[in-house]
Amino acid sequence: MMTKTVLRGRILSFEREPQSPEDVEAFSYIEDGALVIADGLIEAVGTFDEINTSECNVVDHRPNLLMAGFVDTHLHFPQVQVIASWGAQLLDWLNNYTFPEETRFVDKAHADGIAKVFFDQLIAHGTTSAVAYCSVHTESAEAYFEEAARRDMRMIGGKVMMDRNAPDGLRDTPQSGYDDSKAMLEKWHGRGRALYAITPRFAITSTQEQLEMAGALAGEFPECHIQTHLSENHDEIALTKELFPEARDYIDVYQQVGLLTDKSLLGHSIHLEPREIDAMVDTGAHPVFCPTSNLFLGSGLFDYEGLRARGLVSGVATDIGGGTSYSMLTTLAEGYKVLALRGQKLHPFRAFDWITRGNAETLGLADKIGTLEPGTEADVVVLDARATEAMAIRMDRVETLAEELFLLQVMGDDRAIAETYVAGKAMKQAV
Ligand code: GUN
Ligand code: ZN
């Protein structure tokens, strides 16, 4: 008989988005809890007393906090060595740093090496699922999915489609972009825990013909996610309008070719016109907030409350390597500050729901990841709010769960991740 694993600790899992700081019905919290894991899935959750732990391998994580593993809804696998590139806004940053770096991923051996360290970083930071852009080369997507499979992680990704306004060695064609994407999709989508995302980079780097073919592919495979970038930077928007004079606005470039659906993840979505927001509402497309990137590149301040008021379900993400941290905790800290500059608030209940269940819902995967509900996949993060001396000093004055979570949100990073479980297996100590 297979031995089950039981994780003992304080257990926190969100059931829906908290509506206010008082909305404690939105989550379940067990002070001395037991999480039973069998065959990569969560089998049961309860108080340690009520769970029968005989013949189980019990791992005692007290006094740490167990939550669902973090979900990162937007980042770039080939930009691991682009983080902290000095002095540019979006378009210069792409041309001077990012595109030259991505050309290196034609080399499978290079992509393999970076895939290993990329996934090590995700695990170290408590991220168990992510949605990544690979480079234009199929080699990079292969390396990405192979490494994800080796670790049995629920990862979404796709080969970037880009056929203009990029250097030699970093362009496909409408036909090869379609063919290569389709081949990768057919090979990887639904294999193990992998899912494929159709990935036209953004309007500037695709011709109309390529976008049409990306839309056709999305039509053939409506179960796949679609990811691209939208309205991150004023110069980007101006150039997009020049390149697509027929389009009503930026998002229309995507809408006209069938790239706007409830599977669409629109990175940044900062400087939006009213019709563009209507288009998102009508199609169910998802804005994705990338605070560390938006501050680093000086892109602008995401309108969290404005989009939420329209009923849009946004994701939150690191955007490595425009983003500056792999940590979803640091991402929440910077997100809090972006909202503060807009006179808005990101309460820790809302914040921790967002990087777990909320992001899973954005991806349509909340029945599989993002909570600690029995039957879902056993991706779990173990959080230590006393991980650093500065945090421990502050913790001495903490009295409530909300205060502890806010401390993790504001001061936490990879040091606060005591362990990361993927499909029931402890992965962090192995990194
Ligand atoms: N827009 C198009 N490509 C990119 C990218 O790689 N990073 C960011 N931040 N924005 C983009
Ligand atoms: Zn991006």
Higher pLDDT, residue 430 or 317: 317
Nearest CA to ligand 1 atom 11: 229
Q: Within 6 Å (CB) of ligand 1, which residues are found?
A: 76, 90, 94, 98, 201-202, 229, 232, 293, 319, 322
Closest listed ligand to the CA of 297: 1
Nearest ligand 1 atom, CA 293? 9
Per-residue pLDDT band for 1 (boundaries 50, 70, 90) equals low
63 in the same domain as 76: no
> How much is the ipTM here?
0.99
201 in the same domain as 55: no
Residue 336 lies in a domain: yes
pTM equals 0.98
Closest listed ligand to the CA of 93: 1
Tens-place pLDDT, residues 72-89: 999 999 999 999 999 999
54 in the same domain as 76: no
Nearest CA to ligand 1 atom 1: 229
Domain that holds residue 229: 70-346
Written as one string, the DSSP assignment of 95-134 is IIIIHHHHGGGGSHHHHHHHHHHHHHHHHHTTEEEEEEE-
Residue 90 lies in a domain: yes
Residue 361 lies in a domain: no
CATH of residue 55: 2.30.40.10
Per-residue pLDDT band for 429 (boundaries 50, 70, 90) equals confident
378 in the same domain as 306: no
> Which residues neighbour ligand 2 (ion) by CB within 5 Å?
267, 319
CATH of residue 161: 3.20.20.140
- What's the Cα-to-Cα distance from 262 to each of 318, 319, 364, 428, rounded to whole Å? 21, 21, 9, 34
Residue 351 lies in a domain: no
155 in the same domain as 40: no
295 in the same domain as 158: yes
Per-residue pLDDT band for 3 (boundaries 50, 70, 90) equals confident
Residue 363 lies in a domain: no
- Is the model's pLDDT at 54 over the cut of 70? yes
Domain count for the chain:
2
Residue 147 lies in a domain: yes
- In the chain, pLDDT over 70 holds for what percent of residues? 99
Tens-place pLDDT, residues 156-202: 999 999 999 999 999 999 999 999 999 999 999 999 999 999 999 99
175 in the same domain as 284: yes
Nearest ligand 1 atom, CA 205? 2
143-168: average pLDDT: 98
Cβ contacts of 129 within 8 Å, gap of 6 or more: 69, 70, 71, 72, 153, 154, 155, 156, 360, 363, 365, 369, 379
243 in the same domain as 296: yes
